[in-house]
Amino acid sequence: MALIAMETGRFHEKYSEEIAVYGTPYRKIWILAVLVVTFVVIPLVASPYWLVVLTLVGIAAVGATGLNVLVGYAGQISLGHAAFAAIGAYTSGLLVSRAEAPFWVAVPVAMVAAGVFSLIFGLASLRVKGLYLAIATLAAQYIVQWILTSWTWITGGFQGIVIFEPIQIGPFDTTTPMGKYLMVFISLALVVVFVENLMRSRSGRAMIAVRDQDIAAAGSAVSPLHYKLLAFFISSAIAGLSGVLYGYNAGLVSTEVFTLALSVQYLAMILVGGLGSIPGSILGAGFITMLPLWLRDLLPAVGIELSASVEVHLLTLLFGVAILLFLVLEPRGLYGLFRNIKDYFRMWPFSY
Amino acid sequence: MSELMQLTVSGVFTGMLYALLALGFVVVVKGSGVINFSQGEVVVLGAFVMSWLLTDVGMPFWLGIPTTVVVMMLVGAGIERFALRPLQNESMLALVMATIALGSVIRGLVPMIWGDGLRSIPSLIDQRRYEWLGIAIPTITFWSAIMVLILLGAFGFFFSRSRLGLAMQAVSDDRVAAQSLGINIRLVNAVSWAMAGGIAALAGFVWGSLLGVDHRLVVLGALIFPVVILGGLESIVGAVIGGIAVGLVESLSAGYLNDDLGAGFSTVAPLIMLLLVLFVRPYGLFGRPEIERV
C-alpha cells in the first residue's frame, strides 16, 4: 500500500499566514458548515422544545465564552460572573423600563456597566499575584446579591423583578421561540467573532503571555496588570451581555437568578468544555445546561424515580464529580477529547 | 456606651469563632499551598456528622466529639488522596477548581444523606448567658472562644516547634527544595488536610450548636476569606486577629449601620472590608510580599 502523504505540522513562513483567520482551507468549510447548521438547518427543522433548549445553551455559551477569555487566556479565576451578568441584566432592564431607552442603547451601556463595575474588584485584586481575584470576585458575588435583595429603591418591587420589553423589528420578534433563538445565536456569533479576533491581536497574545509567564511578559514590555484588567473587563462585559440575553429570553429577571451557583456553573462549563478554546466553551455550555434535562429524562428510563429535591442535590453532586473527573482524566475538556478522536482518525493506521 | 461595649465584646468573641473556621483554611495553605474554597462545606459536613452521631446514633459527648474529629480527619485525608494528589503538578487554577468541585460534591451529598431539614446538636453546657458589668455573653460562645484560644496555641506551637510542623511550612514555601531535603510531601499534604478536617469537625460542633445544623451554614465559608485576607493567608496569629476584626466589623455594623444601609448589611460588611484591605495592603497585616525572579 502506498504511503499516504501526511502533513507533519503547520508551518508558517510569513507573519500574515500565522494571524490568518482561516489557518487551513478546511477551516473555511467548517465555519461555513457551522453557520449554515446554526442559522438555516436548525431554525427549519427544530421543534419549539429544542429551540428553547438551544436558546438556553446559547445564553450559557455567551457567558462561558466570556469567562474563557479570563480563565483560559489570562489565567485568572472569577467566582463572580453571575454577579456581573446581573449588573448587565439589571442595567439594561432598568434603562428600558424606567428611562425608556431603546434596546440598542441599553444593551451596550449594560455591557460597559458590567465591565466597569467588575473593575472595582479587579483593581483590588489583580495588582498582586495569585488567586486574589477569585476571592475578590467571591466577595463581589455576595455584595451584588445583597444589593439586589435589600436596596429595593434600585430594583423596585417584589424580589427585584424587572420586566424586559420584547424586541420587535419587522418579522423579528423576541416573544416567539424562533426570535429568541435567533437573538441569542446572533449574539453568540458576534461574541465568538470578537473573541476569536481578540486572540489574534496583540492584546490577546499579551494575555496568553501574562498567563504563561507573567514576569517574562513584564520584561517584554507587556504589563501584566494592564492585560489582566483588560481580560477581566472584556470577560465581565460579555457576562453582562449573557445576563441581558437571559432577561430578554425569560421576559424578566429576579434576584434569585444570578447566584453563586450560576458563577460556579460558568466555571464548570469552560472546564468541562476545555480551557482556552471557544468551541470548548460552547460544548461545555451545552453539556452543563443539558445535564439536568438528561438527568430528568434518563433516570426514569432506567427505572429510578427521584423526588424533585433529591434530583436538585444529585445535580449539585454531579457537577462536582464532572469537574473533578475532567480535571483528573482530561484536563483539556470535551474539546480535547474531540481533538484526540480527530487525531486518531487522521493518523490512522499509525498511532501518531 | 454600654451598647458599644456589648457589641464590641460579642464581636470579639464571635470573631474567635471565625478564627476557628479560618484555621482549617490556614492549615491547608501552610501544609500544601492550596487555596481551599471548600472549607465552608467541610465544616457543614462536620456539623452533620456530629449531629448524627450525637442524636441519631446516641453517642455521649466524650465519645461522639472525638469520633467526629477522627471521621472528619479521615474525610480530609481522603479528599487529599483522591481529589488533590492526582492534580499534584497541575496549575493552581486546577487545584482551586478541584476544591470548588469538592464543595459542590459535599453540598449535594449532605442533603441526600441527611435530608433537607434543620438538625440540632444537643447542648454540652446549659445555654445561659454570663453577665458581667451589664455585658452578656452566651455560655456556648464563651467556652468555644476559650477552646479556640487553646487550639490556636497548640497549632502555633506545632508549626513553630515540631518537626512535622516545620516540614509543613517548608513544603508550602518551596515544594521542590523541601522534597530534596527528604521531606515526605505526600505525608505532609495528607496531614494538613486531615488537620483541616479535624478542625472542621470542631468548627461544625461550635457553629452547629450556635445556629443549628443546616446546609445554610455554608455561607460561613464566605467569611473565611475576609479573615485570612486581613491576617495573611498562612498566619495563625493573623487568623485570630483577622477573625476578631471580622467579628467586630460584623457586630458593630449590625448594631449601627443595618438600619441605614439595608437589612443584612452586617453580612456583607466583612466582604467590603476585604476589598478595602486588598486595596491598601494586599498581602494582609502579617503576610509577606513575595519577591520572584524568572
Least confident of A187-196, A309-318, B131-140: B131-140
C-alpha cell at A155: 430594583
Q: Quote the CA–CA distance of B239 and B233 in Å, as a whole number.
A: 8
| CATH number assigned to the domain comprising residue B19 | 1.10.3470
Q: What is the pLDDT of residue A2?
A: 46
Task: Indicate the number of domains in chain B.
Answer: 1
**Most confidently modeled range among A62-71, A89-98, A250-259, B133-142:** A62-71
Per-residue pLDDT reduced to its tens digit, A125-140? 887 777 788 888 988 9
Which of A232-246, B97-111, B151-165, B271-285 shows the lowest per-residue confidence on average (mean pLDDT)? B271-285
Instruction: Please say if the pLDDT value at position A230 is more than 60.
Output: yes
Query: Following DSSP, what letter does each residue of A22-55 receive, concatenated?
Result: -SSHHHHHHHHHHHHIIIIIHHHH--HHHHHHHH
Contact by Cβ (8 Å): A124, B279: yes
B287 within domain boundaries: no
Of B37, B104, B264, the CB nearest to A150: B264
Residue B129 lies in a domain: no
Q: What would the mean pLDDT of B147-171 be, rounded to a whole number?
A: 87
> Cell numbers of A290, please?
443539558
Buried/exposed code over A261-296 (b: 16+ C-beta within 10 A; e: otherwise):
ebbbbbbbbbbbbbbbbbbbbbbbbbbbbbbeeebe
Q: How confident is the model at residue A352 (pLDDT cuts 50, 70, 90)?
A: low
Residue-level pLDDT at B135: 74
The pLDDT score that the predictor gives to residue B294 is 47
- CA angle (A269, A272, A275) in 5-degree steps: 85
Which residue from B minimizes the CA distance to A306? B112
CB contact under 8 A, A320 and B294: no
Per-residue pLDDT, averaged over A279-286, amounts to 92
Asked whether residue B286 is assigned to any structural domain, the reply reads no
Confidence class for position A7, pLDDT limits 50, 70, 90? low
Residue closest to A127 by CA, chosen among A223, A14, A236: A223
Task: Using the predicted structure, report yes or no on whether residue A235 has a pLDDT greater than 90.
Answer: yes
What is the per-residue pLDDT across B11-35, written as a single tens digit (0 to 9) for each? 888 888 888 888 889 888 888 888 8
> A311 with A296: CB under 8 angstroms?
yes
Contacts of B37 in chain A (CB under 8 A): 79, 134, 138
- Residue B203's domain comprises 2-122+138-280
Whole-number mean pLDDT of chain B?
83
Domain annotation covers residue B152: yes
Tell me the count of A-B CB pairs closer than 8 A.
138
**Chain B nearest CA to A136, separation (Å):** 7
Residue type present at position A239:
A
First vs last Cα of chain B: how many Å apart? Answer: 56
State the ipTM, two decimals: 0.86
Residue B131 domain-assigned (yes or no)? no
**Lowest pLDDT segment from A187-201, A284-298, B220-234:** B220-234
Judged by CB atoms closer than 8 Å, whether chains meet at B116 and A125 is answered as no
Residue B291 domain-assigned (yes or no): no
Which of B35, B274, B283 faces A128 most closely, judged by CB atoms?
B283
Residue with cell 510542623: B165
Which residues of A fall within a CB distance of 8 Å from B246? Answer: none
Q: Does B113 map to a domain?
A: yes
* A131 contacts in chain B (CB < 8 Å): 35, 92, 96
CB < 8 Å from A in window 96-125 of B:
96-98, 100-109, 111-112, 116
Q: Which among B100, B225, B226 has the least Cβ separation from residue A264?
A: B100
Q: How far is B78 from chain A (nearest CA, A)?
A: 14
Residue B285 lies in a domain: no
Name the 3-class secondary structure at A169.
strand
Residue A6 scores a pLDDT above 70: no
Total Cβ atoms within 10 A of residue B155: 19
Instruction: List, for residues B64-86, the tens digit of each pLDDT value.
Output: 888 888 999 999 999 888 888 88
Nearest CA in chain B to A267: B97
